[in-house]
Structure 1
């Protein structure tokens, strides 16, 4: 058990294994933490509709942080309680910069994913909950995040063109773009304030670029064994991988087993 009041969990590569499942020991460890009063908070790059099942599976009542912090959703009341949308001129600017070279461009609202361009040799709808190509968001649907899938050199060029005006999370095959300063950490501060919990009383687990600010700023930031090097550089501890139930291993060993955990350099 921990002495912390909140545990924040990224989903893909952290809470979920490669098959998109919460493994049994991890689920049990989190349930024990909740029984002892610890608040469990999900913080993910996914939209709301792709996060709900895991929030329900764990029986959580806390707000969900989705789309890299661009939206906070209260599942129990079915309401968005905080969001930061891209303006129309920002959307047009981003799309103009990425659309020529990107093979796939997605616009994300709180509850849906829209294919604005798709030149991939596969049907994305078979792998990803997504609206059919040609569907567009309605006038009252806010665009909160844009994803662009492109090759290395063009991805680097897009980052250079966008990073002064927008928040960028980079992955091996794509970039995710939100309004400047919008991160999981930004929205986590809002959620913690609602719960009357300080960041120093919080543990966060993550593995990717969109977890860096959160891991760096909480009381205890834990990188998964499969985390990117940039995250490992700023974390406090490294646990085992998501396939090895790294969250369970960390919580079960109570931060002291040097065979499983090591202080990040």
Structure 2
């Protein structure tokens, strides 16, 4: 069956470790788009954090889609029309904020172009190699956001609908504690790793596959006509749902296990390598 859409995760998939799209991958995607294939950016990032990459791939002139917050928010890149949005239940979000005070994690909420944190100086995490990362600055820079310090994240929830709460922490610490962090909310919120140092929460049932399943039929595109690319736990549903699910060479094992194809890693033009085989 002909391919009508290409859905791609961003970090660790579309972009290399320097957070840029390589020339070969860019050219292959632009050529696919010119042939009539719709491009979809599907990420845990906020919608604002997808705009620069969308412009680089000219999605605004080809009616591409932006799937943000792991599927909680879908935007038409050409018109900026919000096609889908599912905020977290406010009562559960308040309860979650209180619960997270028991753990050594850094909670963040993105709204528009603002990254809300309670303490902009509580920002360092330790990686497995012993190096430290300013995770607030990292998130700000990766998504082109502005840091907004608030007395409490409860204030944000009381004022705006919130699609996602992101927690950051030392990878070893998160691995040791994420189950107890998530346990009280398994029936009321979705929770997942999106990087070794990120565990995040969205509304129940939210994932990338659900977002695509809701948006694409309206455009005359069936799952069997979609190629999806991903590397992380939050990409698994999209890889399973698409007619052709492709895991990056750097993908976690659970994504590789459900993929129909494993391509090169994100530093070796994995998307372009796979599209050369699939599209010629």
Aligned partner of residue 46 in structure 1, secondary structure: coil
Give deviations 1:85-144, integer Å, cap 9, x for gaps: 012201111112222213310123354321135533476554322423227548553210
Normalised by the size of structure 1, how large is the TM-score? 0.88
Give deviations 1:133-181, integer Å, cap 9, x for gaps: 2275485532100111241322231133322321111242231100111
> Counterpart in 2 of 1:65?
67
Residue 4 of structure 2 corresponds to residue 5 of structure 1: yes
Aligned partner of residue 94 in structure 1, secondary structure: helix
> Counterpart in 1 of 2:276?
252
> Counterpart in 1 of 2:180?
157
CA distance in 1 between partners of 2:134 and 2:256 (Å):
35
Aligned partner of residue 96 in structure 1, secondary structure: helix
CA distance in 1 between partners of 2:89 and 2:118 (Å):
17
CA distance in 1 between partners of 2:267 and 2:95 (Å):
39
Bigger helix fraction: 2
Distance 1:94 1:124, change over 3 A: same
Conservation of the 8 A alpha-carbon contact between 1:223 and 1:237? yes
Give deviations 1:245-265, integer Å, cap 9, x for gaps: 000011113389xxxxxxxxx
Aligned partner of residue 241 in structure 1, secondary structure: coil
Give deviations 1:161-211, integer Å, cap 9, x for gaps: 322321111242231100111111111112212211000111100000111
Distance 1:209 1:124, change over 3 A: closer
Please point out which of 79, 82, 85 is paired with 2:81: 79
> Counterpart in 1 of 2:148?
132
> Counterpart in 1 of 2:207?
183
C-alpha root-mean-square deviation of aligned residues, in Å? 2.2
Aligned partner of residue 131 in structure 1, secondary structure: strand
> Counterpart in 2 of 1:259?
none
> Counterpart in 1 of 2:190?
167
Q: 5+ unaligned residues in a row in structure 2: which ranges?
A: 125-132
> Counterpart in 2 of 1:147?
166
> Counterpart in 2 of 1:105?
107
Give deviations 1:3-45, integer Å, cap 9, x for gaps: 3111101100000011110101111111111121111111110
> Counterpart in 1 of 2:260?
236
Normalised by the size of structure 2, how large is the TM-score? 0.84
Aligned partner of residue 227 in structure 1, secondary structure: coil
Q: 5+ unaligned residues in a row in structure 1: which ranges?
A: 257-265
Tell me how many residue pairs correspond in the alignment: 255
